[in-house]
Structure 1
Amino acid sequence: MSQTPSTDVQGSTPDGGDPRGPFGKVWLFLRQVVDELKKVVVPTRRELTNYTLVVLVFVIIVILIVSGLDWMFSNGAELIFGDGSTEAPSALAVEGDGAGE
């Protein structure tokens, strides 16, 4: 079983070098883009719906995980550091109690 080398080398000049000049490079690039676009397979409506639902379910799961972690960490921080609702007596409360009058 012998293999013969391909004679169709895209973008090279007949002597095997690079494409000639900047326009040759741009033309090579555009030809390669068109060749790649021909390989694209457009999903059917059913596949597209399926993919969309999978992405939405995954995003909802990630949102729930992040929200749960946020809730856990905020409750843990409140437990460790307090919720900030305790206030120190202020100077105004001491002066305005009426004891000195």
Structure 2
Amino acid sequence: MANQAHDIEGVARSQGGSGQPARPATFVAQVMAELRKVVQPTRRELITYTIVVLVFVAAVMAFIFGMDQLFQWLMGLVFGR
């Protein structure tokens, strides 16, 4: 284990190019180490991010609706509907 890389928590990482999958216990230890690094957003951040996502989705919906209406109008001109 002299030349194995370790993450911040000291969990050994499998060597990238060895072609061998990590042992299940090592994988679980790595997942747990990564989950310890997760930072929960504050209530204000969560509300802000939610609003940003909803506004973005609404903007994309409006754009797609507008493009659909434009193409419908163009097809009406082309095919005489």
TM-score in terms of structure 1 length: 0.60
Aligned match of 1:27: 25
| Residues 72 and 36 of structure 1: CA distance in aligned 2, closer, same or farther (over 3 Å) | same
Q: Runs of 4 or more off by more than 2 Å in structure 1?
A: 6-9
| Structure 1 position 10, deviation (Å) | 1.1
Structure 2: stretches of 5+ with no match in the other structure: none
Aligned match of 1:39: 37
Structure possessing the higher relative contact order (Cα contacts under 8 Å, 6 or more residues apart) = 2
Identity of aligned residues (%): 46
Are 1:65 and 2:63 matched, yes or no?
yes
**Contact 2:11/2:29, CA 8 A, preserved across alignment:** no
- Name the structure where helix makes up a greater proportion of residues: 2
Structure 1: stretches of 5+ with no match in the other structure: 1-5, 13-17, 84-101
TM-score in terms of structure 2 length: 0.74
Q: Deviations over 1:42-96 (max 9, x none)?
A: 000100000000000000000000000000000010011111xxxxxxxxxxxxx
Question: How many residues end up aligned between the 2 structures?
Answer: 69
